[in-house]
Amino acid sequence: MLKVARKKHPDIRFTQADMRSFDLHQQFDVVTCLFSAIGYMKTKAELQKAIKSMSHHLLPGGVLFIEPWFMPEQWTVGRVVTIRVDKPDVKIVRMSISRKRGRISLLDFEYLVGTATGIQHISENHEFGLFTHEEYLDAFKKAGFHVTHDPEGVDGRGLYIGTKLA
């Protein structure tokens, strides 16, 4: 994705880093963590480190937006989902199944990508931490934020909005 982004926008600096420890040596008015990327934090300690790391990149009074992954009570084990792309030059089918191990949600993906040159099969396995509403609030507060929660958010999973205290 970085290669594509750099090619499309050569004048913008893109950085790949771990959200628990990155340092851009710069502060901003707004930091976002969307598309439930925070779910890749598997423990409360990792969640806290990530939010603290994002906090270091905010000016006093700056705002942090985090779109959470599913809450533990929202996660459904055994859910099978398919998505299809049907264009003249490419056909793609993605199928996933949800599983759970303790407080970790597991998603197994299988892709079939068909083009004129053949059919490719790709597998992916993802693990995401399942945190409660209270755990998100606590992580924000420990990182020095006043936090509010929009229960609907961008896509129905909610949105945490933290304002960095001066």
97 pLDDT tier (thresholds 50, 70, 90)? very high
Examine the pLDDT at 109 and tell me if it is beyond 90: yes
Could you tell me which CATH class the domain 75-127 is placed in? mainly beta
Examine the pLDDT at 166 and tell me if it is beyond 90: no
Examine the pLDDT at 20 and tell me if it is beyond 90: yes
Helix spans in the chain (H)? 2-8, 44-55, 133-142
pLDDT, the chain, mean? 97
Residue 100: how many other CB atoms lie within 10 Å:
14
Task: Over range 44-57, report the average pLDDT.
Answer: 98
CATH superfamily membership of 12-19+27-69+131-164: Vaccinia Virus protein VP39 (3.40.50.150)
Task: Over range 88-114, report the average pLDDT.
Answer: 98
In sequence order, the β-bridge partners of residue 63 are 30, 163
41 within 8 A of 20, measured Cβ to Cβ: yes
**pLDDT for the residue 113:** 98
State how far the Cα of 113 lies from the Cα of 95, in Å rounded to an integer. 12
Per domain, the residue ranges of the chain are 12-19+27-69+131-164, 75-127
Examine the pLDDT at 50 and tell me if it is beyond 90: yes
57 within 8 A of 28, measured Cβ to Cβ: yes
96 within 8 A of 81, measured Cβ to Cβ: yes
**pLDDT for the residue 38:** 98
Task: Over range 4-33, report the average pLDDT.
Answer: 96
Q: What is the pTM assigned to this prediction?
A: 0.91
> 113-152 pLDDT, tens per residue?
999 999 999 999 999 999 999 999 999 999 999 999 999 9
